[in-house]
Structures are given as C-alpha cells and as structure tokens.
Amino acid sequence: MVIHTGIRTWMLLWFCSGAVLVTGCSDTTNPASPSTAASVGTSEIVAPLGVRNDTVAIIESHGVEGNKVSMCHATGNGTYVPISISVAAESAHREHGDAAVGENVPGQPGHIFDNQCVSVALPCALSVTPTSGQIPALGGGEVLLTVAADPVTCVWNVSIDSDWLFVFRICDGTPNYGSCGKSQTGGTGPALVWVAANGHIGPARTSIVKFTWSGGGVEVPVVQSASPLAIP
C-alpha cells in the first residue's frame, strides 16, 4: 500500500529511523534510494502490509464496540437482564419490549432502569395545596387538594389516619387531570384529590391526609368543626 502525504522532517526521520519498519523513504525533489535517508520535503512512505492490517484491526475493533448499545432485555417473566447488542438489532429488541439503560420501565410509570436493569423510582418534587382543610360538622363536606408533581411521571400514594375522613375522588394525569376514579389510594403526576367526611354530632376532630412518594412526603391536616348540637 502506498501512502502519499506531506510529512514534516521529524515525522519523516522518525519513520526512517527504524521506529516503524518501512521499505523506503524518498523525496520528490531529491529522491533517495530505499537504503538511504530521505531529505526534507513531500515524501512517499511504503509501509509493510502487516503494519497497516494491525492498525486497521484496532480501529475496526473499536468501531464495532462503539456501535453497540446496552439494553435491558425482557426475559418474559417480568424481569430484565442487561445485554449488549449492535445498533442494527436495537429496533427489533425494542419491538420485543426491551429498553435502554436509563429509560422508562415499560408498564411502570415513574420508574427507570438502572445500569443493572433493575427498576428504580424517579425522584419526585411534589407539593400539595392548600396545606390544611376544614369540613363543617352539619351535613359534612369535602376538601379539594391540588397535587403538583414534577416530573409528570411521579408516582405517589395517599393515606388517611382515621375512618371518618376518606378519599372520595382522584383525578390525575395530563392533560387536565384526565383520569378519574373513586376510592383510589394514589396517582401519577399532577392531580386533584377530594377528601370527604359525613356530618357528625360531636366535638371537633382532626385527621391527617398523608401523601408519600419516592424521596419524600407531606401531611395535610383536615379539621371537622364541632357540631352545634354536640353535648358539652
């Protein structure tokens, strides 16, 4: 293989000094025989084929490695295992249900794959307003709590520490809290949460509505006022 290139003096002397075996060094303005050192100028270097082959093999091996991607492969029993595949095979694996490390876990909103293909919950930034609520004694009523969540895939749970206050309705998801249901115990992303209590005769009472998520939690006290019919 003949390589034509412009070479500075130090490069030329390095090649011709024996650091790399060459069959000859020559200068176009002052040609030298293969057995003599070439002078400064544009040179022609003919390297043994084996030298190039070794270099190409190294470059090719790095190229193949660079064209691979780490995937989490679905085993069929609900678990995933890490594999390394060529980029060309990636689309077929995705159709099978595989995903890349760091991507969302299929069927598990708010979870991503770690580098061992284990499902981990994304950290959430979540707030609830208002920070407290009140329900009248006569006739009972509801308190509407608004959940703000970032990211929108944030998964959270809600619980209440008493039996007189209950979750009446949750509408969550985007856009516009489009998924609603009754007696839910949690949701995903931003939401509207109604808690309710029936009317009662008795003194004032307080219950705690607790929201929990990966990395945190918040408590919202809800008070039902005393009934005017309550016996002192």
Helix and strand totals (H; E) in the chain: 3, 18
* In a shared domain, residues 177 and 144: yes
What's the whole-number mean pLDDT along residues 159-169?
93
How does pLDDT run across 19-31, given as a tens digit for each residue? 443 344 444 444 4
The percentage of the chain sitting over the pLDDT mark of 90, rounded to a whole number, equals 41
**Contacting residues for 150 by C-beta, under 8 A, at least 6 apart:** 124, 125, 126
Q: What is the pLDDT confidence band of residue 232, given thresholds at 50, 70 and 90?
A: low
* CA distances in angstroms from 126 to 108, 129, 130, 210, listed in the order given: 19, 10, 13, 12
Tokens in use for 105?
């876990």
User: Total domain count for the chain?
Assistant: 3
Q: What is the pLDDT confidence band of residue 122, given thresholds at 50, 70 and 90?
A: confident
Q: Look over the chain and give the mean of its residue pLDDT values, rounded to a whole number.
A: 75
Residue 232 lies in a domain: no
Of the candidate ranges 59-63, 106-110, 119-123, 191-195, the one whose mean pLDDT is the lowest: 59-63
> Would the pTM count as exceeding 0.85?
no
- Top pLDDT among 150 and 162 is at 162
Q: What is the pLDDT of residue 12?
A: 39
Among the listed residues 227, 221, 186, the one whose alpha carbon sits nearest the alpha carbon of residue 204: 227
Q: What is the pLDDT confidence band of residue 42, given thresholds at 50, 70 and 90?
A: very low
Tokens in use for 189?
């992303």
d(CA 42, CA 29): 8
Residue 165 lies in a domain: yes
* In a shared domain, residues 34 and 52: yes
- Top pLDDT among 226 and 10 is at 226
Which residue range(s) make up the domain with 108? 68-121
Looking at 104, 121, 138, the residue that finishes a domain is: 121
